[in-house]
Structure formats: structure tokens, C-alpha cells
Chain A
Amino acid sequence: MIAYNPTGLDNAVINDQAQSEYKKGNITAVEMAGIKTAFPEILYTPNFFIRIGLFLLTAVIVICALGLIMLVMMAGLNNENFIGGLILFWGGCCYAMLELWWVQDKKHYRSGIDDALTWASSGALLTAMIVFTDFDLEGSFLCGVICAIATWMTLRFADMLMALTAFGSAIGFIFFAGFEVSPIAADLMPFIIMLVSLGAYVLFSRLSGKEQFRHYEACLDVLTTAALITLYMAGNYFVVREVGAEMLGKTGPVPIGWLFWIFTFVIPPVYIYFGIRRKDRIRLRTGLILLGMIVFTVRYYHSLMPIETAMVLGGAVLIVAAWAVIRYLKQPRYGFTYEADESGEEMTGLKAAEAIIIAQTFHKTPQPDDSFKFGGGTGGGGGATGDY
């Protein structure tokens, strides 16, 4: 199913992993050289920053070329179907260029050019669909179309963001379809989405690690994380109550609210527990991020203490807890360690990135003309977004 040369993908993974083991000193230079010759680089993957540049430039080319076509065909532009057809045609051109030229012929893989063309052709197809239906789409139909396009693109190009789009629109499809079908389905919506997410989680985590799906490993990781998050969000008291108010006009406390409060509190610790127990990074990290959501949900409905007291206490607790873990794991215990996996070289880059994040989050410092404005006002919502 995948568009890229499978041997090339395998070789890229082997080279990557061998490189990282080589940097850690687990394999020798001679072995590394042997691996390099036995599994030569077939696909073209530039550096990450060059990829960003190529992505932007390809986007410029695609948009300007579409503009040029429209300019040439200016006479037909008062007809909506003609515009739709033109966009569809252009999307088709982009897709053909992507498949036949850049992927098959030039062997580009995550070069920025193939990424840009993937998104351009999907976007053009979607826009054409919207134009053809006179901008009058049911939510469920729109989500269905997005899901179909994104699923195809994920299968062909194993793009993580595309996989996420496909999953999100699939959940959206179920959500809107439920509201359109019957009010009973609408009432049961949290449970339906929870069940679907659970099913998706089980499916994706089973597929991940299987040899025939090895090229989709990264996509499956993203999908399992997304499924865990939607599973929690569908049962979260805040989400249930606010979405219910938005969609059905129901205000006030949710019926069987206690059940959703239980979900709100119990699911993240369960994720963390299984994450630690099974040494599963996805569950551990998702659980930690969702702890922030518990705090947010509680604070939204019950103001236990003023925000600054909560921040001071929460901050102190986090620091002490982290300090305790570091002390505890000074010697590795039960297979856990605090030492980073990254090599010294990778750490240098990460530290430089961290410095920028620190400057961004702590930048509110006194200005000469503001007589009294303290920093840290932006820190309140930091709970759920700190994972970098």
C-alpha cells in the first residue's frame, strides 16, 4: 500500500538505528560501515530544516501555479462548477506529480516536497468537493470526506499528521452522524465515542509492532495516543457538559454526572499506572498530560483556592515530586533510569531548544515604564501544554 520503495524505507530505519547505537558505543565503526554498504541509502531525505524550507517553497509554487491557471482561464471564473473543476484538476496534477515524479522517480521521502504535495492535493480535492456541493455540507458528510481523503493519504505516504487528521475526522463523523440520526444516539454520545476510542486503541496497539505494518510504526504511535486522548475527553465532565450545552442546549449539571467525574479522575492515573507497569511511553506521557486536564476541570467548576495559591502549591508539589523521583532513580531501579537516552550531541540541540522555550515562557519581566507588573501571568494554563 505504501508509495515509497519498501527496501528504501527499511534501509533508512536500519541506518538510523545503527547510527544511534553507534553513537552510544554499542557497535563499532567497522560494523557501522558494513551496515552502511549492505543497506545503502535509496530514498532522499534531507535535513529537517531543509525539509521545512522545501515545504514552504513547494507551497509557494503550487499556489502560484494555481493562480496562473486561474488567470489564464479567467473567462470561466464566474461559474462555480468550473472553479471546482479547475481546483480538482490542479489537485489531480499535484497528486500525479507526487506519485509518479517525486516519489517513484526522484525517490523523495519526507523531503518537504512530497509533504507539501500531499497536503496540496488533499486540500484541493476537499475544496473542490465543498465547491461542488455549493458550500452546503452536513457536518458528518464533511468529516466523512476528510476522513476518506486522509485515510488514503496515510496509507500511501504514512504521514503522521495525516493519520491524526483521519482519526480526528472519523471521530467527528461519528459525533455528527449520531446527532443527525437520533436524539438517543446524541444522549449516548460520550459512551459511543469512548467505546470507539477504546476499540481503536486496542486495534492500533495490536497492529503496532507487527512486521507487515512496520512502515506505519510512527503513524500507529500517533493514532494510539490520539485514541487514548479521545477516550478520556469523551468521558471528561467538562467536555461532556460543555459540548452537551453547545449541541443540545442543555444547561446545568449533567445527568449521571458522578459517572463522568469518576472518568475524569480515574482514567489518567490508570494510564500512568499501566504506562509504568508495562514500560509504555505512550500511556505514561498521555496520562501525565491528562493530569493537567483533571486540574483544569476541577478548577473550572469548583474554585478551591485562588489561582496564585494553587500555582505556588502546585509548583512546589511538582518540584518536590520531581526531585524525589530523581533522588530515587539515582541508581536505576526496576529497569527505570533518570539518565537520558539521547547522545551528548542530541542533548546539545535539545538544550538549545529548551533555552528558547524558557525565554518564551518566562519572558514577562519588568518594563521601565510599567510601574508594577509582575511576570508569570501566562503561566496559569501551563498544565496541559508543557510536553516538549
Chain B
Amino acid sequence: MNQRLINKLSEQGLLSPESREKLLLPRLFSVHWEVTTLLYLGVLLLSGGLGILVYKNIDTIGHQVILLAIGLTCGLCFVIANKKKRPFSRHKVLAPNMGWDYIVLLACLLFITFITYLQAQYNVFGTRYGSATFIPMLVLLFSAYYFDHLGVLSLAITNFAAWMGIAITPYEILSNNAFNTDTRLIYTGVLLGAILMTAGYLSERFDFKKHFAFTYDNFGVHILFIAVLAGMFLLEFYYLFFLVLCGIGAFCYWQSSQRKSFYFMMITVLYLYIGVSYMILRWLFYTNLDLGGIYLGLFYFIGSAVAVVRLLIVQNKKLKTNDSI
């Protein structure tokens, strides 16, 4: 709050002298996000660089030294992280300090590099059942709960998805999944989405690391909706997928109004809108109305978008009483 505003409020008698004093105290300048970003970039560069370094030196004597360095750094990070860590609890555990978060992250990333190397060079886990991806995933998942780390949890989730053969990171979810050439991916996506949504639901239901629910649901909702929509667009029995879509939509709608989440509400409404519009357009296309079809389509979009705008405005009002993300 700036000086001007404080004066204005206290002149109108809206601020008690004590609050005025508090507000006028000189503020500290927080460099939190600047330093955190540097730390994050450092972890990104270091773990990436070490990965390439081992890869490039694979046939020389140097790579064992590098590997040793990675192993030692990784172990050191885990030891530090473990020493400073607060005791485990089923609820949210705050990090002892902000730097600690990135030590945990670095430790986990280096561990993955290490495991991958061992697998590639000595084939320690064998080649069956994708265990080379599954075991790091388990380690990540355990670390996420043990250290209470959302970033590691989301790494575990993307690894789990990779193990199932699907990409769920924001950039790759549409570009890297070839739903049209490999329709099995659609079912994988639905299964993965269902698993993640269940995990989110259970975390909340049994109050076990409740704050992880958002991350589970966020990945789950997108892959689930996208896979079901892909099923509608590409498979013959599209109407079945449409029914599934409606079911999921109803569930997400219920959940988002329970949690008072604007984000999930908006996503649910938009995905459902895409699904419904596809059904209408498909029907218009197959009834051969020529120009009339195009007219009807345009009228449909204008009318339905106006309706959805109204719906969103009403939902906004409903959720606003107690807002969160």
C-alpha cells in the first residue's frame, strides 16, 4: 500500500492509528523470486550438463570419474536434504528453507541420470516390462511423499505416463501423442487419466497429503479429456466416448464446485463445449444441408457461446464466495 492510499484511508477514519503505524513501517525488499529462479536455472543447467557429459564421454576413462562425481553429488544432496528435513506427516510439511527444495530436486534428477547410466551400460534392471523407467518412477514417487515435494511428484507423474507410453507435459500432450496413428494411446490416456484422478480423489478423501490432489488432478483431467475427445474424433463408436465425456464432465463439475476451483471449472466447461460442438457439427455435416448447414453451424456457435458465457459468469458468482485456484 502506498503513502497516498494510507493517508486517504486514515483521513476517512478507516484505519486505526496502530494499523497506520504498521503500514507505514519501511518494507523489506524481497529478492525471493529472483534468487529462486537463479537456483532453479542452476539445477536445470547442472543436471542437464552432467547428463550430456556422461553421454559424450561414454567410451573414455573419464566417464567413470564423471559418474563417480554424479553419484557423490547425488548422495551428498540426499544426505543434506534428509538431515534438514522436518519429520514426516500425512499433512503438508513446510520446507525447512527454500534452498532445500532445490537440493531435493537436484538429488532426484541426478539419481535418475545415475540409474539411466547403470541401465544403459550394465543393464542392471533387465529389459522386461519397462523396468528401466518404472524403478526411477518409484524412487521419484517415494521421494515426493518422503520429502513432501510437489515438483518431484510431477516428475514422478510424467515418468509414470512415459512408462505407460504417453506424454503428458503441457507442450507434448498434443504434439507428441499420435492418437490418430496409434489408437491404443486413446485407451492408455483414459486409463492414465482415471488413475491420476483417482489418486487425486483418494488423497483428498483420506486426507493423506491432500495438497498433492491439485497436481494429480491437473495432469489427470487434461489427459483424460484429451484422450476421450480423441476417441470421439477418431473412433467409430464416438457416441460411447461422448457418453464417457459427459460422465467425466459431470464428475469434474461436481468436484470443482466442491473445491471451489475456478481453474477446473473453466477447463471442464471448455472441454465439454468442444465435445458437444463436435457432436452438433458432425450431425450437421452428415445431414447434408449444404449452405443451410453452414448457416446453422454459425448460428449454433454464436448462440451456444453466448450461453456458455452466461454459464461461466454464473459459476464465477457461485464460486466467488470463497475463492482459490
Contacts and interface: CB of A to CB of B under 8 A. Distances in A.
A34 interface: yes
B44 A315 contact: yes
B48 A47 contact: no
Contact of A352 (B53, B150, B262, B269): B150
B304 to A, nearest CB: 9
B113 interface: yes
Nearest to B115: A366
Contacts of B50: 308, 312, 376
B306 to A, nearest CB: 6
| B4, B14, B58, B316: residue with the most chain A Cβ atoms closer than 10 Å | B14
Interface string A307-351: 111111111111101110110010010011111110001001101
B27 to A, nearest CB: 8
A362 interface: yes
Given A47-B319, A319-B42, A57 B309 contact: yes
Interface in A269-287: 279, 281, 284-285
Contact of A323 (B16, B46, B99, B305): B99
Interface string B274-295: 0000000000000000010011
B23 A61 contact: no
B298 A50 contact: no
A355 interface: yes
B151 A355 contact: yes
A380 B48 CA distance: 8
A57 B298 contact: no
A46 interface: yes
B325 to A, nearest CB: 5
A18 interface: yes
Given A47-B262, A322-B39, A372 B48 contact: no
Contacts of B51: 374-376
A315 B158 CA distance: 24
A14 B1 CA distance: 8
B193 to A, nearest CB: 16
Contacts of A371: 120
A321 to B, nearest CB: 7
Interface residues of B, number: 105
A376 B218 contact: no
A368 to B, nearest CB: 4
A308 B56 contact: yes
Given A57-B309, A355-B215, A368-B132, A50 B262 contact: yes
B28 A339 contact: yes
Contacts of B270: 53, 56
Given A211-B4, A375-B51, A64 B301 contact: yes
Given A47-B316, A64-B301, A322 B154 contact: no
Interface in B210-235: 211, 214-215, 218-219
A377 interface: yes
Contact of A68 (B150, B302, B324): B302
Nearest to B307: A57
B83 interface: no
| A35, A50, A345: residue with the most chain B Cβ atoms closer than 10 Å | A50
Contacts of B34: 284-285, 288
A57 B305 contact: yes
Contacts of B38: 288, 318, 321-322, 325
A57 B269 CA distance: 11
B105 interface: yes
Interface stretch (B167-175, B177-185, B197-205, B239-247): B167-175
A156 B116 CA distance: 57
| B23, B43, B295: residue with the most chain A Cβ atoms closer than 10 Å | B43
A171 B262 CA distance: 39
A21 B23 contact: yes
A189 interface: no
A34 B14 contact: yes
Contacts of A361: 44
Given A288-B38, A308-B53, A377-B48, A52 B266 contact: yes
Contacts of A26: 19, 22-23
A27 B19 contact: yes
B52 A377 contact: yes
B298 A64 contact: yes
A194 B319 CA distance: 48
B250 interface: no
Nearest to B95: A351
A47 B30 CA distance: 26
Interface in A5-21: 13-14, 17-18, 21
A168 B222 CA distance: 35
Given A65-B302, A67-B298, A362-B44, A335 B309 contact: no
B171 A57 contact: no
Contacts of A329: 31
B29 to A, nearest CB: 5
Interface in A356-387: 356, 358-363, 365-368, 371-372, 374-380, 382-383, 386-387
B37 A61 contact: no
7 contacts: A31-B16, A57-B312, A337-B32, A359-B155, A366-B132, A368-B127, A386-B41
Interface of A: 13-14, 17-18, 21, 26-28, 31, 34-35, 38, 46-50, 52-54, 56-58, 60-61, 64-65, 67-68, 71, 113, 211, 279, 281, 284-285, 288, 306-319, 321-323, 325-326, 329, 332, 335-341, 345, 348-349, 351-352, 354-356, 358-363, 365-368, 371-372, 374-380, 382-383, 386-388
Given A28-B19, A363-B167, 18 more contacts: A18-B9, A27-B15, A57-B305, A288-B38, A307-B52, A310-B49, A314-B42, A319-B39, A322-B39, A325-B31, A336-B30, A337-B30, A337-B32, A338-B98, A360-B171, A380-B48, A382-B44, A386-B40
Which 7 residue pairs are nearest across A and B when measured between Cβ atoms? A376-B48, A311-B49, A315-B46, A318-B42, A315-B45, A379-B48, A319-B42
